[in-house]
A and B are shown apart, each in its own frame.
Chain A
């Protein structure tokens, strides 16, 4: 879902700090709140990514600059071998700038299912866009009520007839303040296939934001990808000019 793109290409500000006192939010509002976490004007974020697979462990540092949700540019800072590699996402397309050969490559259709930077996030995850209201039948299966110790919203989403997703069911949970907690992906037989987790809520410029995001594939034991924000800057302006192929080369 958007969460992943949002987290990776995080931008932004957010803000549903408190549940509106006057009414329960709609499903749309809860889901949008999660999306809106990252749907801000502009942001500059640094983060660390750890990928653990049965074969290797990778640690990377990167800087992500975003303008809205459609334009994002991620530059690898560490390890040194990959430093300077840039991924540019504009709308549904992804390009990589490869400094060693000074070349820009558009990720072709055949590789969209492949892993991004060796992580458990696929290129496709970065661009796939599902519109909840159009693509899913969603319903609350848990709503926080007064006196309930578990202050969470739990929303079950079942893809509509023709929605082109592989999942049979998605269950998203958000805190009462509408910050996301986790998303579980099931196949149609009800087997849990993957969990996305949001943790470590911190305050940036007065905005609360989960700063640690993990993908836990359920059919590969012990494997995970974790992204942790080390700094978030919502104030420095970002120019639209930098999201061009020409700008990539710099």
Chain B
């Protein structure tokens, strides 16, 4: 009965209803727009760093995290990789060795940070194969090397040219011949000038040990699955090898990325909270007005026998209907407004170049939005809550009035 009455009131005071819900709705649009963009940006950052620098769950030598020395290895990487593949069929398992040294062409030598990878799984998780400007991605042979464009320019090499990688292993200088099979360009100078990729099999003879890896990493469909996968990986690793290894989630392996997001969140939260505050103020204000201006109407309702408690409920019900109405419409509008961000992305290339590095991982400067269902629901609840809370005071005030006073006011 009250619900019907509430509906009728809202319909009758259509203009007031519209103005009040617009206050709720516009706030929602803005909140959702900014949240969608931010969620997408963080996803992007996490995805690119996790895929390029680690994995969602990482298996490594207990000291590797701290020391990053090439000789701190996972011994039976092959067995661990295949066991993990079996246990987590939907995940991609990468295996990487990082080593520093000199890469020389017939024109000059240069310092290189070389990553030896499993080319197939790297192709699945990494953006780099899509960033090739010439040639092909690393082949699973002992010859092919893929380097950044700036390095290729410095060394004055073309596809197929000889490149000799030299590094020191246990104090011995070891060299290996590669041939340039591809050149990538990320737009990030540190990456394009100093990094290269080869296959794991090609470094076995340089290191003098087969079947080792610095990091075996499990790449899941999404970062949300990390905690669920962690115990599985731990169990598989314990079952497969007797070597004592560290099994860590990406947050522990890439503390820089976590820190970066946290810092960024401070200023974002400042803006978000102000935004929510203003939206809440707007709602409070319109609701106050809405209720106080209608004293007369409420006086009539009381005069025809509506109980005070029912009146109180009625006002709150109306408020929550406005909250729901404004919130849902606002959420839909907000999602519609952010749709271009989600599909086409926000292109900041002209401002920031093609790629920026975040602790060594290249992130694209086209930011795609992502709808974050939790937040959107949260915002809808927030708008309902605001509407109801701001109706509390006037509702309480009104029910104190006598019908005569109310009608007179």
Point out residues on A near B: beta carbons under 8 Å: 92-93, 108-110, 112-113, 122, 124, 127, 162-168, 185-188, 191, 193, 219
Contact = CB atoms under 8 A, between A and B. Distances in A.
Contacts of A92: 172-173
A229 to B, nearest CB: 28
B162 A168 contact: yes
Contact of B173 (A109, A166, A168): A109
Contacts of B104: 113, 166
A162 B202 CA distance: 11
A92 B166 CA distance: 13
Contacts of A163: 177
A113 B108 CA distance: 9
B166 A166 contact: no
B102 A166 contact: no
Contacts of A166: 104-106, 162-164
Contacts of A164: 164-166, 175-177
Given A127-B173, A185-B106, A165 B168 contact: no
B342 to A, nearest CB: 46
A109 B175 CA distance: 11
Interface of B: 100-102, 104-107, 109-111, 160-168, 171-173, 175-177
Contacts of B163: 166
Going nearest first, the 8 A-B pairs with the smallest beta carbon separation are A109-B168, A113-B109, A164-B175, A187-B106, A164-B177, A113-B102, A166-B106, A164-B164
A191 B100 CA distance: 29
Contacts of A193: 106-107
B102 A162 contact: no
Nearest to A194: B106
Nearest to B100: A110
Contacts of A167: 106, 162
B162 A188 contact: yes
B141 to A, nearest CB: 12
A44 B173 CA distance: 28
Given A164-B164, A166-B164, A109 B106 contact: no
Contacts of B105: 166, 187
Given A110-B102, A187-B107, 13 more contacts: A109-B102, A109-B166, A109-B167, A109-B168, A113-B166, A163-B177, A164-B164, A164-B175, A165-B162, A166-B105, A166-B163, A187-B162, A188-B161
Among the interface residues A92, A93, A112, which one has the most CB atoms of the partner chain B within 10 A? A112
29 contacts: A92-B172, A93-B171, A108-B168, A109-B173, A110-B100, A110-B101, A110-B102, A110-B111, A112-B102, A112-B166, A112-B173, A113-B102, A124-B166, A127-B173, A162-B177, A164-B166, A164-B176, A166-B105, A166-B163, A166-B164, A167-B106, A168-B106, A168-B162, A185-B106, A187-B107, A187-B161, A188-B106, A193-B107, A219-B107
